[in-house]
Amino acid sequence: MKKEEAVATLIGYRIEQAEKAIEDAHCLLSGNGSPQSIINRSYYAMFYVTLALMLQIGKSFSKHSGAISAFDNEFVHKGLLPKELSSDLHKIFELRQDHDYKIISNPSIEEAKISVSKAKRFVIAVKKYIMDYFDK
């Protein structure tokens, strides 16, 4: 398999992971899952599609903060993707950090609903950008 094919396969895999994480978040939301788990799945949907986007430009990251920073620098600051997506990514990342790592954390169902909405919008927008790039 050529390198380009391997990268395209990995991009596809990351997009599938993002879509599955959004599905999981919706299932948790409709099945009265914990807000913490819903926020976690929402964030990971955003993270996986961000990793796909980074692969598209030949970059990969092991740290979440590095991927988020590169998203801002490579796509938002250059005007390729809207600032609202960056704001959403940062907000849901912070929510996940707070609720996954604080000793006592009680996220609300409203925070969870908002995280799913923002994650869905983010995944759709970034996936469209990736697909448009490959259609060129």
Task: State the pTM of this model.
Answer: 0.94
Determine the pLDDT at residue 76. Answer: 97
pLDDT tens for each residue of 27-53: 999 998 999 999 999 999 999 999 999
Q: Which phi-psi region, left, alpha or beta, contains residue 58 (left: φ > 0; alpha: ψ -120 to 50)?
A: left
Determine the pLDDT at residue 136. Answer: 59
Segment-wise mean pLDDT, segments of 10 residues, the chain, 136 residues: 87 97 96 93 98 94 94 96 97 89 81 96 97 75
Q: Give the residue from 70, 41, 72, 48 showing the smallest Cα distance to 58.
A: 70
Amino acid occupying residue 21: A
Superfamily of domain 3-135: Nucleotidyltransferases  domain 2 (1.20.120.330)
Task: Quickly count: other Cβ atoms within 10 Å of residue 3's Cβ.
Answer: 7
